[in-house]
Amino acid sequence: MLMKMKCENCGFENKKTAKFCTKCGATLTSPPAESSKSSTKYIIIALVIIILILVGFIGYFAGVMNNVESDSSSSQNSSAQSVSSSDDSSESPQTESISSSQSSSSSESKSWELIGTYSGSGSGSQSISVPAGQIMVKLSAYPIKNYATNHLYVTGSNGHSGGVDWGSHSDVETRSDSFSFTSSSSTTFTIDYYETVSWKVEFYRYQ
């Protein structure tokens, strides 16, 4: 079917290729080409599609950035908690180690400390006072002769005692003895010695 161009002046339908109306001679205006209309339609559709794609990309990247920020925040919180736990766990052993070290140092620092030495010769006696605590007494003596009555005795008011003596047939030699006890109060000791060339009594306290 041949397309015709309608004259706007008289309404006569002319051939499409005509530039002037055959009936009235008016100049004919060509109608817009359908191809141009189609092109415009396609351009609009393409623009809409591009806009939708851009909106989709923007939404996608916004979601990704939110996830990254959320993960980063969670990671920082986890790291902070880990550091806090690490600090707590490193402090606890250190405190225990210090306590252990102090306890060990305290126990190692204790030893038998000499708190008094008494010595003499001949015969006689004397009394001394020993403070409370864990006490150890060491004594020794050397006799003039092997008399049956040669001796060195150390006797405490709490009943603890020790000593050395020699019989008439004993060798003339130095003899020693020791004993220990624990008392919550001071103790008075009597040192009794008879016919000795020399004698010595030492008192120690565990501290």
Check residue 150 and give its pLDDT.
Answer: 93
The Cα 22–Cα 14 span in angstroms is 7
The fold of the 112-206 domain, in CATH, is Jelly Rolls (2.60.120)
Report how far apart, in Å, the C-alpha atoms of 99 and of each of 86, 105, 173 are.
20, 10, 51
Q: pLDDT for 81-125, tens place per residue?
A: 654 555 554 444 444 443 455 555 555 799 999 999 999 999 999
The Cα 33–Cα 45 span in angstroms is 19
Whether residue 65 is predicted with pLDDT greater than 60 in this model: the reply is yes
Whether the full predicted model's pTM is greater than 0.85, yes or no, is no
Which stretches of the chain are DSSP H helices? 34-109
The Cα 70–Cα 76 span in angstroms is 10
